[in-house]
Every structure is written in C-alpha cells, then in structure tokens.
Structure 1
Amino acid sequence: MNTPQTDSRPPQAEVLFEQSGSAGLITLNRPKALNALSLPMVQALLKALTAWRDDPTVHVVAIRGTNKVGRPGTPDSLFGGFCAGGDIRFFHQAALAGDASLEDFFTDEYTLNHLIQTYPKPVVAFMDGVVMGGGMGLCQGARVRIATEHTRMAMPETNIGLFPDVGGGYFLSRCPGHVGEYLALTGEVIGADEAIAWGLADLRADASQLPALWDILAGQRFASPAEAESWLAATWPSSNASKEGDAGDAGDHTIIDSFFSLERVKHIIDALERSDNPWALKTAATLRKRSPLMLHVALEQIRRARGMSLADDLRMERDMVFRCFHLRPGTAGETVEGIRALAVDKDYKPVWNPARIEDVKAAMTQAFFESPWTPEAHPLRTLGQP
C-alpha cells in the first residue's frame, strides 16, 4: 500500500522580487485569487519599491502577474493574469469584525499608488489578462503599460457598492472627453484598443511575445534611470492614440460624451432611457444594476478630481473609502452589501439603499466627501511633500 506523499515545499510568497541586470522584477503570485491584493502583498510591494527607489543598481522596474493555467508560448503560468484588484472578501470580513487592518490596507495601498505614479525610475507594466480595480492602481503610473489581446480592463467598483479608488479619480478624469465618467459609473470592461485610445495603455503586444520582452528588459544594463528611459522610448515606442482624430472607431467617444457630460446621474439615465440607440439602452440597463448611491458618489469624485493633484485626489479617496465602511456600519453599508452579493453569498442580488437612482439625495452624496480627519491628522498627509 502506497503512503500518500505530503508536499513539504514551503509555500511560495504572494509577491516575488528579483534583480536582473539593471531591473527590479516583480511577479504577483496569487493566481488562484486572480492576484487580488492582500495587505501583506501591498506592504511587500511598498517595501521593495521604496528600497529599489534608493538602490543605485536598479534603474528600471517591471511588474507582471501569474495565471492559474499557462498559455501556449508562455513558460509555466507566467503572464496571463495581472491583478483583479483588492481582496474584497477580506474587506467584507474585516468590516464586519471591526478589524483595524482594513484601515491599514487602504492607507498603505494608496501610499503605494502614489509611489508608483511618482516613481523616479521607469516602471513597465505587463497588463495581460484581468486588470481591474487595485490592479489599475498598480499599472496606471507606469512609464510603459503593455496591453495584449487578452487584456480585460475595468474599474468595476460601483457593482460592489464602492467607487473607483486607487487614484481612479485622477487617472479616469484624465481620459479624453467624458470617458472617465462612463468607465467610473458603468464599470465597463474594455480591451487593449480602447485602453490605448483612451490613455490607459501605451502599446499592444501579442501575449506570446511577453516572455521574450520580459527577458530582454531583464538582460539590459543601464548606467542610469535616464538611460533606461531613453532605451524604452526607442525600443517600445508608445502607440497611444488618445489624441482627437487618431484613435479610430475604438477611441470614438462622441456618443459617450453626449450622455456622460450631463450634469447629474438622473439626467444621464433619463437621456439614455429615452434614446432609441441600442448602446444607450444597454448602458442604461447596466447603470440600473449598480449602486444608485455610489453612482452619484463616483460622478462627483471624477468631476472633483479633474482639478486636483494626484496627492489631493488620493487624500479625498481615503476620506471616501472610510465613509464607505463607517457612514452605515456593518451590513447596512453599500460596500459590505455589494461584496456580500457578488463574492460571499454569490446571489448577485444586492439590496441597495436607496434602491433607485431617483431616490438619492444630494446630502447622501456629500457625506462621502467630508473628511473624518483634520489635515494635520490625515493618514495621507505627507503625500506629495518633499
């Protein structure tokens, strides 16, 4: 009789770090959870990127994800999935338990987002597969954002009673026209062509090319970050087509602007539902499924953020996410209810409060923008300071 063998190998870390040539290499290694970010992952990323920022031997950084099942042309399961966002099951559990580590998560994550956006060395993001929520926070500050035919990009937070955080107010509001409002409210999933056209990716590569591109970058030796920057510009030139007239059909946001430029959520939904355009009617149906309250919050967020610095936007979002879990504590809150319906009970029937877009009052929205901290006590008070 054969005795079952136990696996005595230590579990692999959820984030892998390596130095090769002049590059600091990061691999998100939680594939069964679509590389969803846990607090230890965020803290490990923050620690490594801070160290590499000050390391004179590191001149460029690259980040990728892993996938449960490898694709043809990729070694093992590398690539194929980037990051699906924050670990929302943890959010749910921590909120109900009153776990203070939930506050640590958002403070550390937003600090990490700011660090990447302002990093003094070029960062290259290999955005294969799912790139959503917190995954967008990891890649939108990169110098080169590589999308593939498998890229599925979104900020889907209104579907779980949240808002597009991790700097979403900042980078979505910089999309052309009113694409930012559209993506923030609907949570629509887009591919590489739309991402490039709307300024959320820089170039497209076949997924099968990614291992070679990664190895080429890892094999380079640069004298400085400036030399790495020049090499990237010459070797992987941007194909960004976000300028008006350059994007073709994928980047045409005329119809989006005609609806999402309207002043209020009620105006947007009314105009969509009055239209005879199939896209408009489908979009209206999508909005009717989202949290009515968070639609209003997200619209206000994007429009405020257009006039904000990145640091101020992240401070605003830190206020907002605190309110998501504390305005109506426990199961009464939109975010806890949204996560319950999508990821815990999986009945996909959230009970939103208010239940209808028409029932949201201005005071309900404004409450999310009232900071619980004084400026001197704010957990992100030092962002943007020398």
Structure 2
Amino acid sequence: MTQARQWATTDVLEEVRGGVGFITLNRSKALNALSLAMVRAMYEILLDWKDNPAVKAIAIRGSNKEGPFGAFCAGGDIRFFHEQAEHGNPEIEDFFTEEYTLNNLIPNLGKPYIAFMDGIVMGGGMGISQGGTDRILTERTRMAMPETLIGLFPDVGGGYFLSRCPGHTGEWLGLAGDHVMGGDGLSIGWGDHFLSSSRQAEVWQALGEQDFSSGEAARQWLRGQCEPAPAVSEAFTKAREEAEQFFGAGDFNAILKALEAATDNAWAQKTAQALRKRSPLMLHVVFEQIRRARGMTLAEDLRMERDLVRHCFFPQHMGRKAVSSEIIEGIRALVVDKDNNPQWDPPRVEDVTPEMIEAFFESPWPASVHPLASLK
C-alpha cells in the first residue's frame, strides 16, 4: 500500500510489492524539486531497504499534476536556498550534506536501483538517478545540469558523471548547461535503457507482480521489457562534434576565446553568447571541478563538491557575505526578481584570477572532521 512514514513527508511515497520497493516523488507542483524533508525521507527508506532481504530491487519515479510519471525531478528547491542563505539558516548546510550522502548511498545499495527518468531530470534529479544500476529514458526525457545559470556548479556528483562522458562532452554540458533530449543520453552514459513513455505504467505495475529470486533476476526481466535504443538525433550528434572542437582546451579562457573567434560557426557563436551570461567566476570553477573529478572516486568528488558548495553560499574566503555570493545573486535575478540581469563579480571571465579559483578548492574542514568523511 502506498504510504508516507510518520516521520517523513507526503512528498515521498513508498510501497513494497512483490519483493520490489517503489518510491514515487509526489511534489508535482514544484516538478518534484527536492526539499530537505524529501532527502531525509528517501535516505531513511533506502537505508531500510538496503538491509531488508525481502526487498530484491528498488524503483523510483516522479509524478506530474495529472498523475505518475511525466516529470522526474527538476533539482533542489532553489527558492529555499535563497531564503535560508539570506537568513543564515543552518538547514542549508544540512541539505547539502544529507543530499550528497544520499547520492553516495544509491550506487552502494548492493541491489538494483531502477530510475524511471521520464520528463524533466535536472540537477538534484540527476543526483538521485545517475548512481542507479538501471536508468530508463523515454522520448520525453529532458536531462541537464544547468547550475551555471544561477551562479552555482553541477553538484550532486556532477563532477564525477560529467567527467566520465566521452571526450569533452562533460565540459560542454557542465559549463553551458545544454539539455540532452530523449534517448540521446544513452550515447553518453546518462541512461541504460529506453522505454516509450506510454509503457511506463504497465512496466511499473508488472515489476511488482513478479516473483524474483534475486535482484539480478529483476534486472533481467526489466531488460526484456525495454525497447531498442533509438538512433541518436542528428542535432545532438552535431552538437557533440562541435563541442569536441572547443571544450578540450587547457583552461576556460581558451575555450571561450576559441568559440568567439569562430565567427562563421553558428553553434560556437550561440554557445559563446550563452556562456557570457553565466557567472564568470563559477565557469572557471566548474572547468576545474570537472578536470579534477576525472581522477576521483564518487565519494572523493562529493567531498570536493561539499567544499565548493560551502564556499558558494558562504564566500568568506573571498571576503564576501552570503548575500553577496554568486548563487544568491543568480537566484535573485532568474527566479526571485526575474530581471534576468545578474550582477556577477567579477563581471568578465578575463577578470577571474587563478587565486580566486584555487580558493574554492581549499577545504574549510580538516579531513578527519569533514561532513562527508565517512563516505566510501
């Protein structure tokens, strides 16, 4: 029976049917944007099922205003970030520590985790899907890591999975925040299976009506229900080819300079114009994040990102207060006041110094007492 635990929230529904644990994100009015209560509910549910031998596999989906599916998760609740950072609420620290702990738990469950990634899957939605064993994309899937739009960086393990995209696709998607549509994500490792959106309900229902002997048996059954991967779209193929020409440079300034110099290339000009609207400081930080993450485990990457997010919201390392941070200014301009005119500091990518970038990667905690020290 679908329910919400007493300590949890009705924004996360759980049930166990036929040896499979099912989670439905139920905050459709906010496109299932993650709140602290939702993160806590998911973590406790998964921790319980991890050690429950009766639960052979786990499946998760989102919901929209009409019912299940249609939207997976649009990310974290950025209005909450803005309000709490302005007021110095320590719950903003709790949110990121607990969200990243959840992101690390998913690939360490020791049993299948099946994500029905229908509709919008962005930011935090990627964080609760990319660690899964079976990531199902549909023709309605729209994936992105668009954090540079609001003066943040692609977190929730973004450094880890972006850096493992083929070639320099990860730098392109992490810096520009472009969307990956439908089954195209299969070609860069952001999904494992394809399923028409019209068939999700029947597969979800049938998944809980089997008598699986093991988690691997559940995975084999699921693979039999999915469909052949569609051809990669011509537009995505071309965009990746373009990205390879520019995003392999040795630093971000070189990337932008090359894009702007390609005056006869419409894709390069459009991408350069989009990047000029992002936080210059955070573009440099994101470039460094992705390059560093290539040599890290997921746990190491999440610890680095926890350092980064502290510096983003509380930029004392730059002599600024929270209200003067890039993230608060970005959310103000794009979401709160909606003037679409963020006042970035520094205002140009050329004004960002190596010292400004490096300061983001200096941990504010000794290793032994880091908030994510226990992650393996």
Which residue in 2 is equivalent to 1:4? Answer: none
Other structure's SS at 1:289 match? coil
Residues 203 and 240 in structure 1, CA contact (< 8 A), matched pair in contact too: no
166, 169, 175: which is aligned to 1:179?
169
Displacement of 1:147 in angstroms is: 1.4
Q: How does 1:177-216 map to 2 (within 5 A)?
A: 177-216=167-206
Q: Which amino acid aligns with 2:31?
A: L
Q: Which amino acid aligns with 2:281?
A: L
Displacement of 1:236 in angstroms is: 3.6
What is the rounded CA distance, in whole Å, between the counterparts of 1:230 and 1:208 in structure 2? Answer: 21
Which residue in 2 is equivalent to 1:7? Answer: none
Q: Which amino acid aligns with 1:170?
A: Y
What is the rounded CA distance, in whole Å, between the counterparts of 1:193 and 1:237 in structure 2? Answer: 11
The percent of aligned pairs where both chains have the same amino acid is: 55
Residues 198 and 251 in structure 1, CA contact (< 8 A), matched pair in contact too: no
249, 258, 265: which is aligned to 1:271?
258
Q: Which amino acid aligns with 1:189?
A: H
Residues 35 and 83 in structure 1, CA contact (< 8 A), matched pair in contact too: yes
Displacement of 1:272 in angstroms is: 0.6
What is the rounded CA distance, in whole Å, between the counterparts of 1:353 and 1:52 in structure 2? Answer: 46
Displacement of 1:247 in angstroms is: 8.6
What is the rounded CA distance, in whole Å, between the counterparts of 2:34 and 2:41 in structure 1? Answer: 11
CA deviation vs aligned residue, 1:189-215 (integer Å, no higher than 9, x gap) = 110232111111122222111111111
Other structure's SS at 1:17 match? strand
Other structure's SS at 1:358 match? helix
Q: How does 1:97-136 map to 2 (within 5 A)?
A: 97-136=87-126
- Consecutive unaligned residues in structure 2, runs of 5 or more: 1-7
125, 128, 146: which is aligned to 1:138?
128
Q: Which amino acid aligns with 1:261?
A: G
280, 295, 300: which is aligned to 1:307?
295
Q: How does 1:30-45 map to 2 (within 5 A)?
A: 30-45=27-42
238 and 107 in structure 1: CA distance in 2 versus 1, 3 angstrom threshold: farther
Displacement of 1:119 in angstroms is: 2.1
CA deviation vs aligned residue, 1:37-74 (integer Å, no higher than 9, x gap) = 00000000000000000011101111111112x3xxxx
CA deviation vs aligned residue, 1:326-373 (integer Å, no higher than 9, x gap) = 113222100111111111111111111111111111111111100000
Which residue in 1 is equivalent to 2:352? Answer: 360
TM-score (normalizing by structure 1) = 0.90
Displacement of 1:95 in angstroms is: 0.6
Displacement of 1:175 in angstroms is: 0.5
Displacement of 1:127 in angstroms is: 0.8
Q: Which amino acid aligns with 1:166?
A: V
What is the rounded CA distance, in whole Å, between the counterparts of 2:156 and 2:127 in structure 1? Answer: 5
Residues 193 and 250 in structure 1, CA contact (< 8 A), matched pair in contact too: no
Bigger shift: residues 187-196 or 158-167:
187-196
- Consecutive unaligned residues in structure 1, runs of 5 or more: 1-10, 71-76
Residues 197 and 240 in structure 1, CA contact (< 8 A), matched pair in contact too: no
What is the rounded CA distance, in whole Å, between the counterparts of 1:332 and 1:126 in structure 2? Answer: 38
Displacement of 1:150 in angstroms is: 1.5
Displacement of 1:240 in angstroms is: 9.5
Report the aligned-residue RMSD. 1.8
What is the rounded CA distance, in whole Å, between the counterparts of 2:140 and 2:347 in structure 1? Answer: 35
Residues 197 and 247 in structure 1, CA contact (< 8 A), matched pair in contact too: no
Which residue in 1 is equivalent to 2:313? Answer: 325
Aligned residues: 363
TM-score (normalizing by structure 2) = 0.93
